[in-house]
Amino acid sequence: MTPRPTSRNPSDEPAPEVTPPQPEPAGPTGTPETAEAARAAEATEAAEAVETAKAAKKTGPLRPGKPPRLTKAPKSARPTKTSESALPAEATESAGSTGSAGSTGSAGSTGAAKAPAGPRGKKVAKTAKSAKPTGTAKTPGTAKPKRTGATKPTGTASPFGVGQAAKSPKLPKSPRTPDPTTTTGATGTAAPPKPPKPAKTAEATAPSEPSPAVQDPATPQTTYTAPVLPGAGVPGGPVKADAPMAAGAGVSPVGPEDRSRLLAGTHHDPHGVLGAHRVAGGVAFRALRPYARSVTVIAGELRAELADDGDGFFSAVVPLRDVPADYRLHLVYDEATLEIPDVYAFLPALGEFDLHLIGEGRHERLWDALGARPMTHQGTEGTRFTVWAPNARGVRVVGNFNYWDGIGFPMRSLGGSGVWELFVPGVGAGELYKFQITRPDGSTTFRADPMARRTETPPANSSVVDVSRHEWRDEEWLRRRGDIPVHEAPFSVYEVHLPSWRPGLTYRQLAEQLPAYVADLGFTHVELMPVAEHPFGGSWGYQVTGFYAPTARLGTPDDFKHLVDALHQAGIGVLMDWVPAHFPRDDWALAQFDGLPLYEHQDPRRAAHPDWGTLEFDYGRKEVRNFLVANATYWCEEFHIDGLRVDAVASMLYLDYSREHGQWTPNEHGGRENLDAVAFLQEMNATVYRRCPGVVTIAEESTAWDGVTRATHEAGPGGDGGLGFGLKWNMGWMHDSLGYMAKEPVHRRYHHHEMTFSMVYAYSENYVLPISHDEVVHGKRSLVSKMPGDWWQQRANHRAYLAYMWAHPGKQLLFMGQEFAQGAEWSEGHGPDWWLLDPAYGAEAEHRGVRDLVRDLNTAYRAQPALWERDTDPAGFAWVLGDAAEDNVFAFLRFDAEGVPLLAVSHLAPVVRHEYRIGVPEEFAGWQEILNTDAARYGGSDVGNPSPLKPDPTPAQSRPASLLLTLPPLTTLWFRPT
């Protein structure tokens, strides 16, 4: 393994000891003759080295074993006589026989070579004497590197020499005037501008420091090309705290192991290798830029070209004291030139507290921590990419900004959190991206961001960086939406499949039509079938791949916000279907996201959903639970959604849901309840109600699970807390009542209990009565088509059933198209049959009459508190006639908080009944018919009752007074006291 350069701060290293000059010692016998003989031998040896250097001068660029040319020092800077043996190795000088540079020794005679002049005439200390008797010295920085693959340091050499671990020389300060000497490096020759007074050139016989080539920032721009030094990047010994860095310290190539991992996409800490790092010789810059012809570091006036280390790696050690606070990379490609900040110059943009919350599974605004978030980080604009992939061996981010080649954009792993992070400068809103994940088996997969806030339009599936610029104008709506609890307020819902309501309309176009239409019909809310991104339109949105992104089929997230805002300004609440029960197996989405089961359960029997071919979430994993809980609050906080209708709750609650014996494993208590799912639903509801006042959660739960709408902290009969939902779909009422209505009137007497049984459990939960999309597709027929009889009777049954539903305890939900008695099943391909309301159509008045009834139902409903104020209070309801099976009649009273009643009578036989006695309270002097589904304007026969009706003191159905009513055929009537 190649040793990696350390990141020590040079200012923290102790300065090398320098022994003060001492008198020249005597020879072995202590006589002057002995010392003179030694000096003569040394002079001869130096002269031979000079002749060798002259010959090398003619051979061109430096080669291994050839010393560099040095600038001759001016006389004023030449050193005085000093004994060689009295100086430390890093400061010694080959003295002449007399000890004077100008007496008996010269460049061409027997004297030693003169020391080069340092900046401002200061003396530059030479390195330890290492010249061989032949005069040839090994010179640092002259070995040619291999240009392919990694450069492997050899031996124990320092950046300043090879073959030995010599002490680092005392380094000169960076010169204000660049050295005119041409420095030959790995990538070519850089010729800095000449100084005002160039010095003469002298041949050197001893190795010296590399020529300084990095200028002071105050001087004109100078290019520095890093020479390739054998052993470059290996720490070369202590650097004195106040000493300047050496110029031309060399390259610092990525070691073989790091190189291999980076190229394979399995490196967990690319920032520890790439970018800028302090090393003994200065600052090492390393970049991984495949296909680049050259990479140059630019920091202020500094330009340092990096050496090409092969495989897309570039490096250099630049003699700087510290890593520049702001440097850029100048990249030259065959067809482009870029100048950008270094991706690996940035600290993590995700805080420790975020990681702590993610680790605990308690980050309630997870979308602020994970995903793609444009931001300004360390003064630079860009996008922070983060993803949770704990099983990945490595993660890269790919996108338009890197031509979908992620080799140069590996992400770092943030400790044991399982989160990978990378801040990419210059990337902003609108950029496409994915994560390239190296799985545990070494294979790679490209995945859409689970936290993406915007996506491409299907079938394309890339994630999109998004920034919201929508300015909300629904403050008044949000302020008052929580004034009255939902279960005590009017709540009638129009269910909509946005892509097919008016096919072809975008979110913004829908905002111009949908609010006006819904407000005209008097609904209090719309419920949107799933708007989260999904790959297959035929799933209607119930197989979600982008849990944090509105579908791009209709526009951008801001466009969807505009629609919600428009509905709020029209006084209409917005509910949306939310699908935390399962997700599809698409290989670019959540399934085995990082190579192993992650979002799905580890046990295949628990992971596979038996009905839909999808995967179930692992609710026992805290990070998965956090992903879903945060998603629930995300829609409410970011998109101002007023309620979540949670899909397929029953499939979550039971381990044996749609599974045969042997296909499921009991829980720890031996039961069939999915305790992890129960805990998740409780946490989700508690979090949403705490964070988002006025929001309601609604369960689509089709079993008799106890406490679906009971608070999580309130224990039920079994001692367990409730699931915490606000409302629950009454699936039993829906199936029973539709089953009754589908019978011929002559047979309904035998199914009378199907209409009355709902009151046995009506107050066990807070209910919504749904006629949803599920009841008008896949061969179930539309609502009006379920009704028996001819066309007139079908419409009459349809109208009577809707009025019965609006009067029954509970809230109401009606799917689009049923408000005007569409005869065909709903299809997501073409939506409602709006042509039925075209005046040119012959039966238009009949369909319009049903829609007029729905409008009047909602108007009367809102005006009568008895129909909604005590929906969850048994004292708000009383049967008047619940056993008239032979007559197909149902009659009951609803009471508001003040005790004021409303009488609802449904006659579901195709005959007229005159003077039909119905018992009523005696304290009211008269009753008024406020709604009659047989009215002519709705398309009925217009049989009714005059107003006011005076009660008869004759008791009936245990009431002290009674009314004699005319009951039209297949009709529901509403009466209120005058």
Catalytic residues: 647, 700
Helix (H) or strand (E) holding 47: helix 32-57
Map residue 467 onto helix, strand or coil. coil
Map residue 486 onto helix, strand or coil. helix
Residue 105 structure tokens:
């020794």
Beta bridge partners of 644: 576, 697
Handedness of CA 752, 756, 758, 761 (dihedral sign): negative
Distance, C-alpha 953 to centroid of its chain: 71
Q: Could you give the angle at which helices 731-741 and 791-807 cross, rounded to 10 degrees?
A: 150
Q: Quickly count helices (H) and strands (E) in the chain.
A: 18, 38
Q: How far apart are CA 394 and CA 410, in angstroms?
A: 7
Q: How far apart are CA 122 and CA 124, in angstroms?
A: 6
Nearest to 382 by CA among 395, 397, 367: 397
- Relative to beta strand 380-388, strand 371-377 is antiparallel
- The residue whose two tokens read 């490196």 is 267
| Maximum Cα–Cα distance across the chain | 152
Amino acid at 224: Y
Calculate the alpha carbon distances from 794 to 345, 733, 888, 908 in Å: 72, 20, 16, 12
Nearest to 503 by CA among 513, 495, 494: 513
Strand residue runs (E) in 247-379: 275-279, 282-288, 294-299, 302-305, 307-310, 313-318, 328-332, 337-341, 371-377
Q: How far apart are CA 571 and CA 752, in angstroms?
A: 39
DSSP summary character for residue 123:
B
Nearest to 479 by CA among 696, 693, 638, 633: 693
Map residue 875 onto helix, strand or coil. helix
Map residue 808 onto helix, strand or coil. coil
Amino acid at 441: D
- Relative to beta strand 696-699, strand 643-646 is parallel
Residue 908 structure tokens:
């579901």
Nearest to 435 by CA among 392, 398, 403, 407: 398
Nearest to 478 by CA among 573, 364, 576: 573
**Exposure on the CB side of residue 212, measured as CA atoms within 13 A:** 25
The C-alpha angle with vertex 50 and arms to 48 and 54, in degrees rounded to 5, equals 120
Instruction: Give 646: exposed, middle or buried? Use CB within 10 Å, 0-12, 13-18, 19+.
Output: buried
Strand residue runs (E) in 484-641: 492-496, 525-528, 532-533, 546-550, 573-578
Distance, C-alpha 463 to centroid of its chain: 9
Residue 578 structure tokens:
């939310």
Instruction: Give 80: exposed, middle or buried? Use CB within 10 Å, 0-12, 13-18, 19+.
Output: exposed
